[in-house]
Structure 1
Amino acid sequence: MNILYITEILPYFPCGDGFRLVAYNILKRLSADNTIHLLAFYRTNADLENKKSIKNFCESIETVLYKKPSFIKKILTFFRAYSWDNEMRDKITRAIDNYNIDIIFAEGANIGQYVYKIKNLPKIIAPHDSSSARNYQFFQQAKPGIQKLPHLIRWIKSAIYEKLIYSKFDHCIVVGPNDADNLKKLLPNLKISIVTNGVDTEYYKYNPPDSTENNIIFTGNMSYLPNADAALYFYTKIFPLIRKKITDVKLYLAGANPADEIRNLANDKQVIVTGAVDDLRTFIHKSAVYVCPLRLGTGIKNKILEAMAIGIPIVATKISTPGININDGNNIMIADAPDEFANKVIELLSNQEKRLTIAKNARDMVETRYSWETKVDEIKQILNQVKGRSITHHKTANILGIGLDYLMLKDDKVRGDVRTRQSNYAKSLTSFHQVVYSPKELGFKKEKWADNLYIYPSNSKNKGSFILDALKIASRICGDNKIDAITTEDPFTTGVIGYLLKKRFKIPLNIQVHIDFCDNQYWINLRKINKIFNVLAKFILKRADTIRVGTQHEKDKLVKKIRINPDKISVIPVNADLSKFREVNGIDIRKHYLNGKYDKLVLFAGRLVAQKDIPTLLKAFKIVLTSRPSTLLVIGGSGTQEQFLKRAASELAIDGNTIFTGNIPHEKIPQYLAACDLYVVSSIFEGTCIAMAEAMAAAKPVVATKFAGARDLISDGENGFIVEQRDHERMADRIIHLLNNRERAKEMGIAASKKIEEYFANNKNIGKVIELWQKTAGIQS
């Protein structure tokens, strides 16, 4: 792939600048199987001299001198978030003309303004963090009065910039969940992934400091406001408390460009301000404890990962660690209040064994989760997916969809990524018309939700009248528009509508199957009408032109039970953005629920309905408590069985160890998953279980019943455990095993995360759905 890589500062190595280091490591590994054409701003002639360190990674390198805007230019361009350079724009144009570029990778928020108007090329923006989130922090932290005004202006300008510019990109990559959440609030339809920074574990070899002196170190570019603020805050509020207990303690502030107020701290004989250094590792090895007392800033902190890799124990504020898989007291110590922070530093300085234990745990975690090879593999997958999406866009279809619940599409906060997913489908189609069930009393009207996504609510008296209402609306759509194919959400009610439309208008039909229904006695016995639906669905599926199922197990059953041609059936799981579930901090939620009373947390999150068979989980948990009485079961969600389940927990005498949270907002699910020790699914039937996939993406071991989706995703004993439906004794046994074997649970969680990455990345599900619909319509991809 020919990649035009544009970055706001020339990368090279070695250097002490985190932004340069990230770009250097990405370039180094992307170049192994791609052709890189690099365009970068540079600041000094020294930058150009260091260009040789990346020469072997790039087919071509073009640089533009960054020109600091004059006072007059700042006034003239007051409303711009970033300064503009015509030379950079011209060089980008020439590179596209000369190098047969396949995709553009814009690194840094500033670069977005040069790329967002480019058409006919897929493009990715990687700003690292959210500028508006960072500037809002600065605004909040500034002293009251006129000093807040510049930060307020920067915050407003950066929010407008992100909303205008990022919306024109095919994909956005950030390094932390908080940044992703902020951008999602600004741009709900933005396709965004979280790819945390990595660390070069060869360069930062594990070599725990052997200093016998009570030295503390903080590193970073000391001209950067969050670092300067942290250094001054630590010296004035925390360092005096440490000195009271350990009188010979010394503080190293190591990093380039210290302002005068930082330099002046060196007047204290127990403070060493180094300025720029050739190799920070030398100073880290002189120290016993690394501190990171940040109060401002966004994105992942390279300094934390590097210190962990080297093997020095860390005390940090919570804001210092977003996107890093920390475990307070295990691989790091977290403190925000000055006295708490000081006490934890004192504890480490006074206890060499604890220093070594925390340092070793941190190194193990970094090796497992933060190698640059792993991180760049994630970026490669995104590049391939975006490139693949752009290929499928050139031949499109007009699709009529039937069946999605209007309320489910309406609010991603409640239902997850459903609306975003439909908008992404629409981007690859000429037009996408959706007829959806909605209750008449809500009075919904036809809406246009995206450039070519049209929603037609049925406004039905009840679900029984939906068939006639939907047929009337869909027939009008087919009469007024060119429709190439029809897709229905199930082979039942919506399948009947699709079949009748196919017969009348001679339009090809695609049926989607999202549950394991076919001759499934658990499903058939759930409701009397399901016996009729089972027969009806077989009739409808035989007459479909193509079928989409979520799991291989479902496909095998349809081929065997209904004798459908396997070539008509495509296995395409529901598309889900699982990047947001990786590297999330769940400390607050874990502390809130465990509250010093419990030591383990088992989680289920989903609808509280008969299909989920929560009574089996409750029976299993009663057995778990006989072996692990300090375990807490958290059940998140609501549904028709909620009150029944609360009574069942009380009757089983486990209500003291069971919490029903009600609905958990979807944006909070990643924190809940990060907080738990394992996740349990007790469903009697499912297709692709997104909740389980999310838990696996969060690197949590899963105990699941033997439904179709679990058979596809879980290799029993390797990345989770599978038990028979309603076997509460075996379920309890597997839960106890994981609670008692922390290392095995951790290994299974890591294996689960890798399986999910491979499964969802390889399927490229949105592109595959579009290809299936085009195949249904007789359009060649």
Structure 2
Amino acid sequence: MDDLLLLVHRIPYPPNKGDKIRSYHLLKHLVQRYRVHLGTFVDDEDDWRHLPHLKELCASSHFARLDPRWARLRSLGALLGNRSLSQDYYSDGGLRAWVAQTMREQRIGRVMVFSGPMAQYAETYPQARRVVDFCDVDSDKWRQYAQRKSWPMRLLYAYEAERLLRYERAVAAVSDAALFVSEPEAALFRALAPESGDRIGYFGNGVDTAYFTPHAEYASPYAAGERAVVFCGAMDYWPNVDAVCWFAREVFPAVLAREPLARFYIVGARPSAEVQALSALPGIRVTGTVPDVRPYVAHAALSVAPLRIARGIQNKVLEAMSMAKAVIVSPQALEGISAETGRELLLAEDAAQFAATVNQALAPAAGSAVYALDEIGRAARARVETSYGWAARLAPVEAMLESGLDASPAGAVDEKRVATAANAAAAPTWNQA
């Protein structure tokens, strides 16, 4: 087996949130083909106990401690250097030294970068084939934050959107491939970075259908008689916070007025103070960390994904679909997901539509069209089984690592080399571009 360096911004285990689900399955795919040397950060003290599992998978590894509070303060130094805040947030001398030693001793010829800011650790190795999985266009997410925040945070987020895009473009320009989570994300970045269009592609997320299955026995976490509407996600992540606060305040009162037994369950770790405050509202339940989200999805009447800010593919939607659950999504949460609205999931574009769709699903009026939730759930499961297996989703990654392939606008791959080692050696470093 050849050696490969994998750089990930957050420890890729356990696969309990969006980026860690993608990075963990990427790691599992790569270790079947390469001797993987993993360099990553640990930003949650509870995750240190998972190191033995990852060490067993990898030829070598380095885990850098990241204190989010200190990292946020440190990242402000980027303002003085006209750099992206994200670069400084993920800057660590120990990890940099380990990468240098590993590249030298193992003579590594392939580097897989997961998340744009981690590219800083690979920029001095143009002799290696470098593939970057940006996942989402993070700079555009910061742009959306700036639009919704008030001064002075609006200025800070706008700064980061501009500087991070500049860095993302520089990284893509000297990489063998720049990958994203969906065709819309790739198309967006192709428009933002046209100079790198011939090396921009994507590989979509998959679902572990054996784990997220409707066929297992789950004890109900809900009180008898409750009609649960559930949202699952990391509740310290601002797009999730914004989504549940909007739904709880703008949508759910109309649902509760129609169906007194309706309850909105917000399921996820580290709920922010704003989210915790929602539990004071009628019919709202905030669980915090739970050992397993599957019982909450399995026994809910509906799953909702009312995101107003989103980039990439929403794993929470695919996982609920995999469990044969009817999901109501916003247009933002639907982006990048191949599913037929009205048959495999339901779409609502504003508060009135969300309330009407939830109400009709929970307590349809006499004589009105009734959403066949079980039928939608079965169709959703079939869609996931057909279209979202991880093995097929990850197949293009190995091809790009081996051949430096071009990715077409449609995400297909053809075997054309886009850069040689000599050309890469003459290219500017990513911070200079």
TM-score (norm 2): 0.86
The reply on whether 1:128 has 2:128 as its aligned counterpart is no
Match of 2:169 in 1: 163
| Equivalent residue for 1:345, pick from 353, 358, 361 | 358
Q: CA deviation at 1:179?
A: 2.2
| Equivalent residue for 1:374, pick from 384, 389, 392 | 392
Match of 1:363 in 2: 381
Match of 2:339 in 1: 326
Q: CA deviation at 1:142?
A: 2.5
Distance 2:191 2:327 in 1: 33
| Equivalent residue for 1:354, pick from 364, 372, 377 | 372
Distance 1:117 1:148 in 2: 34
Percentage of pairs with the same residue: 24
Within a 5 Å distance, the mapping from 1:5-20 to structure 2 comes to: 5-13=6-14, 15-20=15-20
Distance 2:72 2:19 in 1: 26
Q: CA deviation at 1:75?
A: 4.3
Within a 5 Å distance, the mapping from 1:520-539 to structure 2 comes to: none
Match of 2:424 in 1: none
CA RMSD after TM alignment: 2.3
Greater radius of gyration (CA) = 1
Match of 1:234 in 2: 247
Distance 1:72 1:213 in 2: 44
Q: CA deviation at 1:168?
A: 1.7
Query: What does the per-residue CA deviation read over 1:405-457, in whole Å, with 9 as the maximum and x for residues that have no partner?
Result: xxxxxxxxxxxxxxxxxxx7xxxxxxxxxxxxxxxxxxxxxxxxxxxxxxxxx
Within a 5 Å distance, the mapping from 1:547-696 to structure 2 comes to: 577=408, 579-580=410-411
8 Å contact from structure 1 (residues 133, 179) kept in 2: no
Query: What does the per-residue CA deviation read over 1:556-588, in whole Å, with 9 as the maximum and x for residues that have no partner?
Result: xxxxxxxxxxxxxxxxxxxx71544xxxxxxxx
Within a 5 Å distance, the mapping from 1:65-84 to structure 2 comes to: 65-68=65-68, 69=70, 73-78=74-79, 79-81=82-84, 82-83=87-88, 84=91
Distance 1:124 1:12 in 2: 21
| Equivalent residue for 2:189, pick from 172, 183, 191 | 183
Distance 2:195 2:62 in 1: 34
Query: What does the per-residue CA deviation read over 1:229-255, in whole Å, with 9 as the maximum and x for residues that have no partner?
Result: 001000111101111211210010000
| Equivalent residue for 2:178, pick from 167, 172, 178 | 172
Distance 1:579 1:32 in 2: 27
Distance 2:400 2:92 in 1: 29
Structure 2: state its 5+ residue gaps: 365-369, 421-433
Within a 5 Å distance, the mapping from 1:157-556 to structure 2 comes to: 157-190=163-196, 191-207=199-215, 213-350=226-363, 354-386=372-404
Query: What does the per-residue CA deviation read over 1:544-564, in whole Å, with 9 as the maximum and x for residues that have no partner?
Result: xxxxxxxxxxxxxxxxxxxxx
The code of the aligned residue for 2:116 comes to A
> May I ask how many residue pairs the two structures share in their alignment?
399
Does the C-alpha gap of structure 1 residues 44 and 345 become closer, same or farther in structure 2, counting only changes over 3 Å? Answer: closer
8 Å contact from structure 2 (residues 268, 289) kept in 1: yes
Match of 1:56 in 2: 56
Match of 1:686 in 2: none
8 Å contact from structure 2 (residues 146, 157) kept in 1: yes
Q: CA deviation at 1:57?
A: 2.3
Match of 2:426 in 1: none
8 Å contact from structure 2 (residues 139, 162) kept in 1: yes
Structure 1: state its 5+ residue gaps: 390-423, 425-575, 581-756, 771-781
Q: CA deviation at 1:45?
A: 4.1
Distance 2:253 2:226 in 1: 18
8 Å contact from structure 2 (residues 6, 111) kept in 1: yes
Match of 1:150 in 2: 156
8 Å contact from structure 1 (residues 38, 60) kept in 2: yes
Q: CA deviation at 1:263?
A: 0.8
Distance 1:339 1:278 in 2: 34
Match of 2:425 in 1: none
Does the C-alpha gap of structure 1 residues 30 and 318 become closer, same or farther in structure 2, counting only changes over 3 Å? Answer: same
Distance 1:159 1:77 in 2: 15
8 Å contact from structure 1 (residues 43, 65) kept in 2: yes
8 Å contact from structure 1 (residues 30, 376) kept in 2: no
Match of 1:41 in 2: 41
Q: CA deviation at 1:74?
A: 4.1
SS at match of 2:128: coil
Does the C-alpha gap of structure 1 residues 125 and 227 become closer, same or farther in structure 2, counting only changes over 3 Å? Answer: same
Distance 1:71 1:146 in 2: 16
Q: CA deviation at 1:350?
A: 3.4
Does the C-alpha gap of structure 1 residues 115 and 151 become closer, same or farther in structure 2, counting only changes over 3 Å? Answer: same
8 Å contact from structure 2 (residues 360, 371) kept in 1: no
Query: What does the per-residue CA deviation read over 1:46-86, in whole Å, with 9 as the maximum and x for residues that have no partner?
Result: 32211223333211122111244467744433232121222
Match of 2:423 in 1: none
Query: What does the per-residue CA deviation read over 1:182-201, in whole Å, with 9 as the maximum and x for residues that have no partner?
Result: 32123213211111111101
Does the C-alpha gap of structure 1 residues 72 and 303 become closer, same or farther in structure 2, counting only changes over 3 Å? Answer: closer
8 Å contact from structure 1 (residues 129, 175) kept in 2: yes
Does the C-alpha gap of structure 1 residues 71 and 49 become closer, same or farther in structure 2, counting only changes over 3 Å? Answer: closer
Distance 1:184 1:298 in 2: 15
Distance 2:211 2:71 in 1: 40
Match of 2:25 in 1: 25
Distance 1:59 1:120 in 2: 21
Q: CA deviation at 1:264?
A: 1.6
| Equivalent residue for 1:88, pick from 78, 92, 95 | 95
Does the C-alpha gap of structure 1 residues 155 and 180 become closer, same or farther in structure 2, counting only changes over 3 Å? Answer: same
The code of the aligned residue for 2:183 comes to P
Does the C-alpha gap of structure 1 residues 252 and 9 become closer, same or farther in structure 2, counting only changes over 3 Å? Answer: same
The reply on whether 1:109 has 2:108 as its aligned counterpart is no
Moved more, 346-355 or 186-195: 346-355
Does the C-alpha gap of structure 1 residues 44 and 320 become closer, same or farther in structure 2, counting only changes over 3 Å? Answer: closer
Distance 2:394 2:179 in 1: 12
8 Å contact from structure 2 (residues 183, 201) kept in 1: no
Q: CA deviation at 1:146?
A: 3.9
Query: What does the per-residue CA deviation read over 1:327-356, in whole Å, with 9 as the maximum and x for residues that have no partner?
Result: 110101111111111111122223687101
8 Å contact from structure 1 (residues 213, 288) kept in 2: no
8 Å contact from structure 2 (residues 256, 283) kept in 1: no
Distance 1:148 1:47 in 2: 32
| Higher relative contact order structure (alpha carbons within 8 Å, sequence separation ≥ 6) | 2
SS at match of 1:199: coil
Does the C-alpha gap of structure 1 residues 236 and 64 become closer, same or farther in structure 2, counting only changes over 3 Å? Answer: same
Distance 1:16 1:48 in 2: 15
The code of the aligned residue for 1:80 comes to R
The code of the aligned residue for 2:238 comes to L
Does the C-alpha gap of structure 1 residues 140 and 207 become closer, same or farther in structure 2, counting only changes over 3 Å? Answer: farther
SS at match of 2:208: coil
Query: What does the per-residue CA deviation read over 1:119-155, in whole Å, with 9 as the maximum and x for residues that have no partner?
Result: 2111011121011111111122224x54421221121
Distance 2:127 2:327 in 1: 47
Distance 2:168 2:37 in 1: 25
